[in-house]
Structure 1
Amino acid sequence: MLHHLRQWKNPLHFPARFRTLLPLSSILFTKPSVSAAKLQDELASSSAIPNTSDTVGEILAGLRSFGLRRFFCGDYFRTVFLTLNWTQVDQIINVLRVESPDFAVDFFHLLKDRYQFRHSRASRFIVSHVLAEKKRFKEMQLVIKQMVEEEGSGSAPSLCELLLNSFREWDSNNVIWDMLAFGYSRFEMVQDALFVLAKMKDLNMHVSIQTHNNLLHNLRHAETMWDMHADIKDSGTPQNEYTHSIIVDGLCEQSRLQDAVSFLQDVEGKDTGLSIVSFNTIMSRFCTLGFVDVAKSFFCVMLKYGIFPDSYSYNILIHGLCVAGSMEEALEFKNDMEKYGVVPDIVTYKILAKGFQLLGLMSGAWKVIQDMLLKGFNPDLVTYTILICGHCQIGNIDEGLKLREEMLSQGFQLSVISYSILLSSLCKSQRVEEALRLLYEMETFGLKPDTITYSILIHGLCKKGEVQRAIHLYEEMCSRRIFPNYFTHGAILLGLCEKGNISEANNYFDNLIANDLVDDIALYNIMMNGFVKHGNIEKAVLLYKRLVKKGITPSIVTFNTLIHGFCKNNKLGEARSLLDIIRLHGLVPSVVTYTTLMNAYCEEGNMHGMLELLWEMEAKAVMPTHITYTILIKGLCKQGRLQESVQLLEDMRAVGLPPDQITYNTIIQCCCKAGDTRKAFQLHNEMLLHNLEPTSVTYNVLIDGLCIYGDLRDADRLLVSLENQKLNLTKVAYTTMVKAHCAKGDVCRAVVFFRKMVEKGFKASIRDYSAVINRLCKRRLINETKYFFCMMLSDGISPDEDICKAMLNAFHQEGDLDSISELLGEMIKFGLVSD
């Protein structure tokens, strides 16, 4: 054959008689159907000198004569390639392995890379053995890795059978077995890897620590991790630091911290090497659980054994301290890093900045960022997001917007999360128009708003009362195929209810039900609350029956809403009976449930009913709030039981519930009604002592108390004193003083306070003038009555019939005919009487 080859002008153009054009076999890209025994025979026979009359022989002859690359480029090989099957390629590679191992490897790769030929398992194992003998382990690993990936899960038994039957005596067999187990482990085919290891154990083959470690890593979440570790110890394979760190990590992942610590102590005792990774893992786990002090003790142990912490070690503790709110100590650790030559990285600075941000200490966050800049680190997207979130968190939205501008100027593009934070903060500040502008800015930068973004804006518009604009935005959202969630629907529903559009809200809700968009109790609760607020308890009850019929489980909020509705409509019996229904649904009445009922009993003056509910709360371990105590105090005050209400005030403080202004105002009012203004002012002083700012209601009650039960001059002095302190007084304070001075007959002082009221910007109404004029008429203070009447007319307020009748009666009793005549003229002018 070689004689004929030399006669051709282009020796690579083989004659047609040597091109045995067999049909393209389907086995080119499938697994071989031959048995392992048959394959062994074929491999054995292919070791002999090939028959030069067949395709295998021709290819081998061509390869020997012209070299691999020239032969592969020739027309002959391109044609004959279509006829090649796995058995022929296996024979060629096996012959080349003996004659020239490098040649065998090159032939294998060229056939695969240039012609996309999928080699058989046998060829892959042959080449893997060649590479192992040549100590080209990385290439060998790649060949086996590709085979394992293609063969897939469950292929280990057949591959092991092939290795046992065809490669048992080959020199690098142990290495190939080990690499096969390693390959399965790398692809997380754990059962296959364990099968290979079991076979290796039967054959007394050595498993490398790398393979053991890889499999150990895959098993770290399961109890079988310990079995694998026992196998490693039994095999006598020396363990390394990576082995220990995997075990520690696995135990921590399984929440077996005590076992992890014991294992570390055992490793420490055997002096087999301690790993910084193991210490970092344990410290991280303790910090995650909130035991930062324990993590710090391991940090000290690490130093004791001469293991120097790295930046990751420090970052773990710094993060733990920041989460615990110990920012000073976190900064100390950062300083220690620099002191001991460990350079803080950008992660360190981000952790510290985030820590300050979570505590709302943005000045501290800024200092960290400035330090970071001085160290040459540039703020990245995460850093800016932390700062924006921090400023928005403390309500400093303008600083957040400035940071946004800085980010854009630095070439950073804000994420959807950053925009959502800004949008939320703007909406909370009622700056919805600015939030909408940011929405369109997002779109100009190619960012697609998501459900959360739209929901924030819709909720903001609804809270502002602009429900129609919210609905328009909702429609825009749906047109973009961004599907709203229950929060979006809830915002619109709540907005319509708060706006008073109950009918429209009901239609919207019915539409949601018709489209199967209501599968959550929250939307039912909103609609029921809307009905209750507008006095329609019957519809709320019907809606409750409707949701129960649909199989939707009511929540405690559902029942609290119904109880509030019944109490509001003076149906206390129905409200009380709901307590039993709550328990039938497997729910527990909340403090709101009890407090709502107690308030209803309080309004009825049923102190016994209130106390029964309080005892039930205590029996059910439902802790009362300061509102619960305030209602109890209100009930006692209604019955004039002042001493008991003051005692209850002290009890509140004893159980750690500080009273608020409403609590104090309730008792102060009770004191004033009892004529005990001295005690009322003692309670006022107690408020100041506890840094509780009295409200305008507090001062209105005190002024009223002094006017009725005390000295009017004290009331005058109190009001003037409050004016000097520039406290925000209400109109009630002034009208109280005006009425009191009128009642006492001191019209001059009444005029002074009336004028003060007007000067303070409070508009005097017909009701205010009527109250004063009626009192003056009763005391027959004619001139003073005329003065206030003229003042009323000069303020542009028309008199009513009641004022005119009172004045006519007073003038008649005094026999003042001229005044009667003048008044009748005014009445005719204002249409109160005809000519």
Structure 2
Amino acid sequence: MLCSLRHSIGIWRRSTNPACEFLISSYLSTILALNSPEEVPNYEPEPACALHDQSFYQNPQRFLGKNLALGRHESLEPTLIGLRKQMQECAKGGDLVGAFNAMRYMEPTVLDYNALLYRYLKSDNVSGGELVRIFERMKRFGPYPNVWTFNVLSNGFCRLGLLEDAVNMLEEMSSYGFVPSFTSLKILLNKSLSSGSYGFSCKVLSLMLHLDYPLSLQVLNRLIYSLIKVGRVSLAYDIFSMLLNKGFKPNVYTYNPILLGLCKCGQSCTALSLFFALRKKGFCHNLYSYTALVLGFCKEGLLKEAYQILEQMRNEGLKPSVVTYTIYIKFLCKYNKIDEALDIFHTLGKENKHADLVLYNVLLHALCYHNRMSEARKLVHCMEENGLLPDRFTYCALAGGLLRSGYVKRCQTLLCRILSSTSFADVVTWNIYFHSLCCDGKAREALATVNSLVEKGFTPSVVTYNTILKGFVREQNIDEALEKLDQFHCDEVGPDLISFNTILSAACKQGDSSIIRRVLDRMDIEGVKLDAVSMTCLIRYFCNSGKFIESFKLLKHMICNGHKPTTLTYNVLLDCLCKKGLVINEYKLLHNFRYMGIDPDTTSYNILIHASIKKADYFTAERLLKEMYSQGVMPDAVTYASLSYGFCKEGNIAAALSLEHQMLENGVKPSVSYYNTIMDAMFRMGRLWDVFLLLSKMEIEGIQPDSISLKILNRASAKGRKKQFPNAMKVLEILMKTASNSSGLEAN
């Protein structure tokens, strides 16, 4: 067929018409590339002068090998076909040198190069660099690439995973006036999404939009979801807004991930604007759209706004799911609104919804954290009645609550029962058990238990050792705690910054300069850098030692080296300055700290209020208290104890007692310190009957006298109250001893 074609055109060996020769060569290259099931690579072309060399015709085997040797009476067409076949065979095998040796004896066209590239891409050892070099050589020396060259290379780069080269090839193709095919762009877009190369995905998307190619909703949803997943929320939002303005019709699976992404990164207002803009355009929202908004408002502390979203859901006929309620209840608990959380929990039953184990655990953790153990037990009973079995999170929450309430033995009993079951014996549960031992003054026993478990295959975490270190420190065994750091390396659990800060904090509080130096030297050896907590500990040490100049130098060093001082840092300075009587204007000092970008907390106000009351500066104390409320900082038991101290100092015991009602309204449980202040004032004023009533009230409310209470009683006895009122003092002494014995204290 090929011979007859050349005869019909009038060409035998070599056409004198270049245009005709180009057509014939292109035709032959195309036929070979399509008929042969293989591909061809590229290299630097040599001048096609071999056809004019008579030695080529005299001894073709020397140039082409035995398979392509020509008979004496054969025409040149089979030779050209053989050359192209040789070139493509070599390219298919990855032999670019052999392929270009074959191309030396022909005048290769762009279609020959395309066949070369196509076959080479089918080989097992393709080099992206070789492809680029062939392409650059074509642009420089010819033949110039055509649209098929670009398509072959872009698809090849895409298959090889060289997405950057593929995108660059398509962009260059477009810049030269060629239009990339929709199929090529679609393949590249899917490949970039699958490999997580979302930057390239956006480039391909931009090119598709520029060419007005249709974009499938499935691909867009996949791109949006992927961008949100890797935190590129703003980019996803911009792409969505652009497509929306172009008239693209998204569905709920397109914009729900954007709503959720915006809400998760603190842009709930933007999410709300998008929510209503979409609804205005006629797009519908579902349960997940509203749940995203509830999460966003809750994360930003806008609980009222979150509740309004819940109400709007109900008004529109959408019932919040258990997940929606769990999110709202979790953040109510986070902001100490436990009673409101319980009210919302009870509404689930009215809506015929059954709480899951996650929701029960959220509420249980909050109740235990706030020492509401009786309600926690009722909740566990309710959970079991509904067919839900406690898991390790349930038991850990209960154990933590028992520890906070001071029921150490009960906590240990519960944990021992749990840990006997292998399904719950994970490192977190064991860490709570070790913490309970340390709270009971048994740090050595905790360490021995860890060592015993390690022999059985248990792998402790750094939290395990930090818990035990804290136990040694609590028992005033700082030297021993420092020695235990060596065991970290033996167990392949290296000490971290928290480990060193635990010991450093205790040493700084005790003013032990020797331990401080040893800790700092050890940190230097381990390559552990001081952080804001470490420097705050050192500031406390300098302040307690009266070295205020060093304290402020260290504070300046923190700021200059990028360690932003925390509220705790300034509270340490405030406390030391106030105790030394070095603060003249507490209110002004507070505003100076706020000017430096530090937000005072309850402790900050407590320090300054107490200092003002000690100086009888009640005007400043009142101003601080008012500002405390205006800034949304709620007073705690320490605040009320300071106010009680001020009233008692002025002899106004009735006003001090009236604070209790205000405390209960604000959800603050009166502390023993609050009652001690009032008791001391009553003793000083000889109001022994009132002391008796106060102790009875403390007993009813479950507040036991502490060592300070006993000192107040002993001081009153030493000052002659026992001689003046022997019977009354005897009754008070018996009453206080009875209460103190239950708490492990004894009066001297």
Give me the TM-score of the superposition, normalised by structure 1.
0.56
Equivalent position amino acid for 1:544 in 2: L
In 2, distance between residues paired with 1:741 and 1:399? 50
2:308 is equivalent to residue 350 of structure 1: no
Which residue, out of 246, 249, 256, partners 1:267?
A: 246
Which residue, out of 213, 225, 228, partners 1:237?
A: 213
- The 1:301/1:436 distance shift into structure 2, 3 A limit, reads same
Matches within 5 A, 1:4-403: 154=128, 190-191=163-164, 194=167, 206-208=181-183, 210-211=186-187, 214=190, 217=193, 225=201, 227-233=203-209, 235-242=211-218, 245=221, 253=232, 255-256=234-235, 259-260=238-239, 262-268=241-247, 273-292=249-268, 294-310=270-286, 312-317=288-293, 319-320=295-296, 325=303, 328-332=307-311, 334-335=313-314, 338=317, 348-360=321-333, 361-362=341-342, 364-365=344-345, 367-368=347-348, 383-395=356-368, 398=377
How far residue 389 of structure 1 moved from its aligned partner, in angstroms, is 3.9
Which residue, out of 418, 421, 435, partners 1:438?
A: 418
What's the counterpart of residue 105 of structure 1?
Answer: none
How far residue 738 of structure 1 moved from its aligned partner, in angstroms, is 6.1
Equivalent position amino acid for 2:357 in 1: Y
Which residue, out of 661, 668, 677, partners 2:651?
A: 677
Contact 1:286 1:295 in 2 (8 A): yes
Cα deviations by residue, 1:315-374 (Å, 9 ceiling, x for unpaired): 5445546655455445445546756xxx98xxx433333432443425634654785668
Matches within 5 A, 1:531-546: 531-532=507-508, 536-546=512-522
2:458 is equivalent to residue 458 of structure 1: no
- The 1:187/1:406 distance shift into structure 2, 3 A limit, reads farther
- The 1:149/1:264 distance shift into structure 2, 3 A limit, reads farther
The SS at the match of 1:255 is: helix
- The 1:471/1:183 distance shift into structure 2, 3 A limit, reads farther
- The 1:417/1:279 distance shift into structure 2, 3 A limit, reads same
In 1, distance between residues paired with 2:435 and 2:151? 61
Cα deviations by residue, 1:268-298 (Å, 9 ceiling, x for unpaired): 3xxx544444333443333333444543454
Which residue, out of 486, 490, 500, partners 2:466?
A: 490
Cα deviations by residue, 1:201-239 (Å, 9 ceiling, x for unpaired): 788674248547536756996555554345324545344
- The 1:606/1:286 distance shift into structure 2, 3 A limit, reads closer
| Number of matched pairs | 589
The SS at the match of 1:554 is: coil
Cα deviations by residue, 1:470-501 (Å, 9 ceiling, x for unpaired): 21332244335554333221111111221233
Contact 1:646 1:667 in 2 (8 A): no
What's the counterpart of residue 473 of structure 1?
Answer: 449
The SS at the match of 2:256 is: helix
Contact 1:213 1:246 in 2 (8 A): no
In 1, distance between residues paired with 2:242 and 2:612? 64
- The 1:310/1:45 distance shift into structure 2, 3 A limit, reads closer
Contact 1:155 1:192 in 2 (8 A): no
How far residue 263 of structure 1 moved from its aligned partner, in angstroms, is 1.0
In 2, distance between residues paired with 1:183 and 1:404? 60
Greater displacement, 577-586 / 214-223: 214-223
How far residue 554 of structure 1 moved from its aligned partner, in angstroms, is 1.9
2:501 is equivalent to residue 525 of structure 1: yes
Cα deviations by residue, 1:720-762 (Å, 9 ceiling, x for unpaired): 654675576856576677677758x75xx43134235325654
Alpha-carbon RMSD across the aligned residues, in angstroms, is 5.5
Contact 2:454 2:460 in 1 (8 A): yes
Which residue, out of 445, 467, 476, partners 1:500?
A: 476
Cα deviations by residue, 1:613-665 (Å, 9 ceiling, x for unpaired): 87975674545555455545555666xx42x2453343233244555554555
What's the counterpart of residue 620 of structure 2?
Answer: 647
Contact 1:353 1:364 in 2 (8 A): no
Larger-gyration structure (1/2): 1
Cα deviations by residue, 1:548-601 (Å, 9 ceiling, x for unpaired): 465432233334434444555xx313x642431453363455554454455445
What's the counterpart of residue 577 of structure 1?
Answer: 550
In 1, distance between residues paired with 2:576 and 2:214? 77
Contact 1:216 1:229 in 2 (8 A): no
Greater displacement, 199-208 / 492-501: 199-208
Cα deviations by residue, 1:74-103 (Å, 9 ceiling, x for unpaired): xxxxxxxxxxxxx9xxxxxxxxxxxxxxxx
Contact 2:470 2:502 in 1 (8 A): yes
In 2, distance between residues paired with 1:336 and 1:612? 50
In 2, distance between residues paired with 1:607 and 1:154? 72
In 2, distance between residues paired with 1:619 and 1:204? 59
In 1, distance between residues paired with 2:30 and 2:393? 61
Contact 2:158 2:188 in 1 (8 A): no
Equivalent position amino acid for 1:207 in 2: F
Equivalent position amino acid for 1:463 in 2: C
In 1, distance between residues paired with 2:288 and 2:346? 23
Which residue, out of 699, 708, 719, partners 2:691?
A: 719
In 2, distance between residues paired with 1:45 and 1:602? 92
The SS at the match of 1:500 is: coil
Which residue, out of 719, 726, 731, partners 1:755?
A: 731
In 2, distance between residues paired with 1:312 and 1:632? 47
The SS at the match of 1:677 is: coil
- The 1:487/1:307 distance shift into structure 2, 3 A limit, reads same
Contact 1:677 1:702 in 2 (8 A): no
- The 1:751/1:149 distance shift into structure 2, 3 A limit, reads farther
Equivalent position amino acid for 1:364 in 2: I
Cα deviations by residue, 1:417-453 (Å, 9 ceiling, x for unpaired): 6776666566656312322332231x2x5x7x55444
- The 1:151/1:649 distance shift into structure 2, 3 A limit, reads farther
- The 1:582/1:186 distance shift into structure 2, 3 A limit, reads same
The SS at the match of 2:234 is: coil
Q: Percent identity over the alignment?
A: 17
Equivalent position amino acid for 2:691 in 1: L
Contact 2:431 2:463 in 1 (8 A): yes
In 2, distance between residues paired with 1:251 and 1:759? 68
In 1, distance between residues paired with 2:402 and 2:704? 31
What's the counterpart of residue 557 of structure 1?
Answer: 533
- The 1:598/1:150 distance shift into structure 2, 3 A limit, reads same
In 1, distance between residues paired with 2:307 and 2:214? 44
Equivalent position amino acid for 1:579 in 2: F
Contact 2:157 2:163 in 1 (8 A): yes
In 1, distance between residues paired with 2:358 and 2:704? 43
Structure 1 runs not aligned, ≥5 long: 1-36, 47-86, 88-119, 123-143, 162-173, 766-770, 772-796, 798-835
Greater displacement, 277-286 / 588-597: 588-597
Cα deviations by residue, 1:751-798 (Å, 9 ceiling, x for unpaired): 134235325654999xxxxx9xxxxxxxxxxxxxxxxxxxxxxxxx9x
Matches within 5 A, 1:421-436: 430=408, 431-436=411-416
Equivalent position amino acid for 1:259 in 2: D
In 1, distance between residues paired with 2:246 and 2:36? 54
